[in-house]
Chain A
Amino acid sequence: MGKYILRRLISVIPTLIGVTLVIFLFQRLIPGDPAVAMLGEHASEDNVARIRQQLGLDRPAFLDRDALVEGNLPGFFDSQYVRYFNRLLHFDLGDSIHRRIPVAATLKERFPATLELALLSMFFALLIGIPVGIASASRRNSWLDGTTMIGSLLGVSIPIFWLGIMEIMLFSVFLRWLPSGSRLSPGVSITPITNLLLLDSLLTGNFAGFWDAFKHIIMPAVALATIPTAIITRMTRSSMLDVLQEDYIRTAEAKGLAERVVLYRHALKNAFLPVITIIGIQAGSLLAGAVLTETIFSWPGIGKWVYDSILGRDYPIVQGVTLLIAIIFLLVNLLVDVSYAVLDPRISYD
């Protein structure tokens, strides 16, 4: 297993290099100049040219053929991509084009907000999705099963932005129970340790801060959790239904084992592999796909930030965030594969 994990971790490196190439290429294929986006409607041509040079955008994207023809080998490699890759090797994600501050610094601030939201959403999705999926499968064609199926269909169908707005209208405008957005109320502060506010407030014993942070995160987390909850519920149900028809389940029932034991000890473990796969995919998607939720609830995460950066052609931010998300996807996939072996003794990577 150890060797397998090591092999997989090593294979991450070429994958990430590929990711950097693809991100880099795709960004350059989008028309629109970062210098123009930065300087706006007033920009003079001289200033656009100067900023392009300053940002290195006057260099070829990948390799300079003209320099090669002239026999200038260093010039041949002096391209935007090589400069970017060189910075990456020095653990430098570069500076934001518009704000001229290090991407890593902002990422450090904003990523925990998205991570906290994604983790809580996943927690809700698992808390509801798995038990409801199991209950639904064990009572197939009952009113519970019907309600679950309709509910999960609604969950995958309701647009997040609509659900978010409805939540705000109900809980913020009419009932006035919850704040409509952001992470904390004015005047409330939580000493940062991990920048996961719920965790930090508990670690520092700041229960007022915890309550305030919880009131802020609950609506976006619920909105973000709807799709994964629905998908996990459906996957758990269908996977359980398959397993419940197996001979060994009948045998277990014939032996007189309690329903709970049959369901949880015998059926669930075998039904769980496809569910784990879905959870892995959803975990990555939650991080990458929080744009809408973050926009509606003014949540200061990476989703809205990277969306604005794409529009503003802020290449270093887009590259930095995409790289981080790619790393997370790869790690989640690895964790999912490893969990297969943990859950199913028939699977071995040695």
Chain B
Amino acid sequence: MKRKTVFTVFGLLIVLSMLLSACAKAEGPAVPATEAPATEAPAVEAPAVSAKDTFIFGRGADSVQLDPALVTDGESFRVTGQVLDSLYRFDQGTTNPVPGLAECTANADATVWSCKLREGVKFHDGTDFNADAVIFNFERWRFTSNPYHYPSQVFEYYEAMWGGFDDASIITEVKKIDDHNIEFILSTPMAPFLANLAMDMFAISSPAAIEKAGEAYGTPTGGCVGTGPYKFVSWEEGTEIKLVANEDYWGEKPKVKNVIVRVIPDDSARFLALKAGDIDALEQAVVEDLATAEKDPTLQILTRPGLNTSYLAFNFKIKEFQDIKVREAVAHAIDIKGLISNFFGKYGTVAKTLLPPGMLGFNDKIDYWKYDPELSKSLLADAGFPNGLSEVTVAEDVKDADGNVVYTAGQVIPLRLYYMPVTRFYFPAAKEVGEGIAANLTAAGFNVELYLEGDWPTYLGARRNGLLMGLYLLGWGGDNGDPDNFTGYFFNSAAEPIKREGWYQNAKLAALVQEAVTLPDPAARAKLYAEADQLMHDDVMRIWLGHNNTPLILSAKVLGYVPQPVGAENFEYVSFSN
């Protein structure tokens, strides 16, 4: 020992480190030795790529799953939208459904839709796209007893858009006429039928791939197999998903051979990666980076139309909020225009209805709420609170998911404003907007406690159980451009108090949206949805805040990228200039 020098100490440290790594790797339960690498593609071999023929999109979070029927997150659809086709698709840059893998016509009462399937189309695994494939997919989604409708899986969107599973499904049958002709039989007329078909979550997967992968279909090990312009190559979880062009694509052939969808979690690092040329496009940029990008000739900014609405909601289990004068006082207390201008920036517009402008049924006759703190104080005084409002009373017992009473009837609690703990595409600065609203309300006589309920799952859980006991911020982004996906989603069951919607109840509103979804005539539907928005406005049941256009920053060399208001953007049109 005495003769050893400092170098032996270094040597020892390195050996210790190696031993440590060896110990860690040998730790039994963590590492099954025989597992295949999780990133292996099911069928397609990764080609050698070069920067010129590769489009790299940077994003903040990974996809959850690549079986679109199972997920609700946009990051999953961003990828599945390239690999899988739906029977219909949204036309470039619009919410108009146009034929994709099928072209459908309805009978007179719109309960039978006859669809001619595109012929000569093959899935990426070489199997045929035909009537059997479509029926396989719809039956898998619909029937809870289907062998590929696994108990661990939730086909959330099928249930939401088609009325439910099994016998509750509005699609009562998908009938095969021949290999390339099918009929959808509906239990009731459904106006947004084609828009629903065009949604990414109803894209058609290869039955053979599902049968082969089983429950692993859509996972990093299972990948996904469709008929789309790109084929799935690999998914390195949390890092990147690689796709390669489908040379046999039935539609416009992809211009760029490879696509990489890369996760760069930090907003600033993502922007710098774009500036460094390591990626070609990104979403979710901070305001400062957007300002930089606007001045940078090597970059371009495109905006996705804001088919979304952010809002301030009331919890109707609060006795004071059951008085419309108090709700109106809140509406007049908030400087919505100022808040949107300051915190949504130039990409936001002030909302006055749940439906964004341009959507079927948008009611332009409704007035914006006038910002008038004095009027607000006066309304509050009329409601019996001349000295303002700082505490509120629980009207009825409120229970959690396990049935435990969390708030007791008659309990007095502080007046809270719950703000979202995250940034969402419909709400770029929830905390800052919350602070602004709290300041506005204070100036109008409401003493509000700005409240952080917890992180996002906690917030969603509390909202689901009607436990955000006060005012709360949230929003909604449309899935298919149809008003039923907005007003219908929220309030079609409002004949009874809806727990997740702050216990709001309005039977007339429920009846309106239930009728509107069945009418084949767009003009008649528009009238009903406009009426529904007027009803909500007159009842001051929520304060609509803003619609947010989502900015995307791309290299100036990127051509052909068209932001889609709903659904995945189509990467097959993307190319590069020199």
Chain A contact residues (Cβ within 8 angstroms of B): what range?
A: 35 or more
Cβ of A3 under 8 Å from chain B: no
Residues of A within 8 Å of B238, CB to CB, are 110, 300, 304-305, 308
Interface majority SS on A: helix, strand, loop or mixed?
helix
Contact between A186 and B273, CB atoms less than 8 A apart: no
Give complex CA distance A182, B264 in Å: 8
Q: A342 on the interface (CB 8 Å rule)?
A: yes
- Asked if A142 is at the interface of the complex by the 8 Å CB criterion, the answer is no
B403 at the interface (CB under 8 A from A): no
Cβ of B276: which chain A residues have Cβ within 8 Å of it?
168, 172-173, 176, 179-180
Q: Report Cα–Cα, A99/B64, bound state, in Å.
A: 6
B87-95, B456-464, B518-526, B540-548: which lies at the A interface?
Answer: B456-464
A contacts, CB < 8 Å to B: 30-34, 36-45, 47-48, 50-51, 54, 88, 91-93, 98-112, 115, 119, 122-123, 126, 130, 161, 164-165, 168-169, 172-173, 176, 179-183, 186-187, 189, 192, 194, 196, 264-265, 268-269, 272, 279, 283, 295-298, 300, 304-305, 308, 311-313, 320, 324, 327-328, 331-332, 335, 339, 342-343, 345
A102 touches B64 (CB 8 A): no
In the bound complex, how far is the Cα of B11 from the Cα of A123, in angstroms? 11
A115 to B65 alpha-carbon distance, docked (Å): 27
C-alpha gap A122/B13 in the complex (Å): 10
Q: Quick check: A115 and B24 within 8 Å, CB to CB?
A: yes
- The smallest C-beta distance from A334 to any residue of chain B, in angstroms, reads 10
Write the chain A residue with the least CB distance to B18. A119
Q: Does B372 contact A (CB under 8 A)?
A: no
Residues in B with CB closer than 8 Å to A343 are: 1, 9
| Distance in angstroms between the alpha carbons of A179 and B273 in the assembled complex | 8
Contact A173–B29 (Cβ < 8 Å): no
Q: Are B456 and A311 within 8 A (Cβ)?
A: yes
Q: Is B37 an interface residue (CB 8 A)?
A: yes
Given contacts A180-B272, A180-B276, contact A32 B458 (CB under 8 A): yes
Q: Is B457 touching A32 in the complex (CB atoms < 8 A)? A: yes
- Whether A33 contacts B401 by the Cβ 8 Å rule is yes
Would B460 and A104 count as touching, CB distance under 8 A? no
Q: How many Å from the CB of A25 to the closest CB on chain B?
A: 17
Q: How far is the CA of A161 from the CA of B269 in the complex (A)?
A: 10
Given contacts A103-B30, A192-B37, A327-B23, 5 further A-B contacts (CB under 8 A): A98-B65, A298-B269, A304-B238, A305-B238, A311-B456
Q: Please, which residues of chain A bring their CB within 8 A of the CB of B35? A: 102, 104-105, 108
Which residues B272-325 have CB closer than 8 A to chain A? 272-273, 275-278
With an 8 A cutoff between CB atoms, is B423 at the interface? Answer: no
Number of interface residues of B (CB under 8 A): 84
Known: A173-B272, A173-B276. A122 touches B29 (CB 8 A): no
Contact flag A165-B457 (CB < 8 Å), given A42-B156, A179-B278: no
Interface pair A339/B273, CB less than 8 Å apart:
no
Q: Tell me which residues across on chain A come within 8 A of B13, comparing CB atoms.
A: 126, 279
**Are B455 and A186 interface neighbours, CB within 8 A?**
no
Neighbouring B residues of A110 by C-beta, 8 Å: 237-238
Tell me the residues in window 423-465 of chain B with beta carbons closer than 8 Å to chain A beta carbons. 454-458, 460-462, 464
* Cα(A69)–Cα(B224), bound, Å: 49
Kindly identify which residue among B24, B156, B219, B266 contacts A161, using a CB–CB cutoff of 8 Å. B266
Taking the complex as formed, is B108 at the interface, i.e. its CB lies under 8 A from any CB of chain A? no
16 A-B pairs in the complex with CB atoms less than 8 angstroms apart:
A32-B460, A37-B456, A37-B457, A100-B152, A104-B29, A108-B32, A110-B238, A115-B24, A172-B276, A173-B276, A176-B276, A192-B37, A265-B2, A295-B269, A305-B237, A308-B62
Assembly CA distance A57 to B322 (angstroms): 36
> B10-48: contact bitstring with A at CB < 8 Å (1 yes, 0 no)?
101110110111011101111110010111000000101
B266 adjacent to A45 (CB under 8 Å): no
List residues of chain B with CB within 8 A of the CB of A126: 10, 13
Closest to B401 in A: A33
A42-B157, A42-B160, A47-B156 as given contacts; A109 in contact with B17, CB under 8 Å: no
Smallest CB gap from B454: residue in A: A31
Closest CB of chain A to B466's CB: distance in Å? Answer: 11
> In whole Å, how far is A114's beta carbon from the nearest beta carbon of chain B?
10
Q: Which residues of A contact B246 (CB under 8 A)?
A: none
Which residues in chain B, 203-225, are within 8 Å of chain A measured between CB atoms? 215-216, 219-221
B272 interface neighbour in A50, A51, A172, A312, Cβ under 8 Å: A172
Interface string of B355-374 (1 = CB under 8 A from A): 00000000000000000000
On chain B, the residues within 8 Å of A34 by CB distance are 457
B275–A173 contact, CB under 8 A? Answer: yes
Q: Which residues of B contact A300 (CB under 8 A)?
A: 236-239
Taking the closest CB of chain A, its distance from the CB of B243, in whole angstroms, is 12
Q: From residue A323, how far is it (CB to closest CB) to chain B in Å?
A: 8
Chain A residues whose C-beta falls within 8 Å of the C-beta of B61 in the assembled complex: 308
From B152, B258, B454, name the one whose CB has the most chain A CB atoms within 10 angstroms: B152
B269 touches A168 (CB 8 A): yes
Given A93-B30, A181-B264, A311-B455, the answer on whether A186 and B21 have CB atoms closer than 8 Å is no
A109 contacts B39, CB within 8 Å?
A: yes
Interchain CA distance A342-B8 in the complex, whole Å:
12
Contact of A165 among B5, B9, B72, B269 (CB under 8 A): B269
How far does the alpha carbon of A192 sit from the alpha carbon of B238 in the complex, in Å? 19
A93-B30, A283-B17 are known contacts. Are A111 and B24 too (CB-CB below 8 A)?
yes
Q: Provide the B213-257 mask, 1 if CB < 8 A to any CB of A, else 0.
A: 001100111000000000000001111100000000000000000
Closest chain B residue to A51, Cβ basis: B154
Flag if B30 contacts A108 (CB, 8 Å). yes
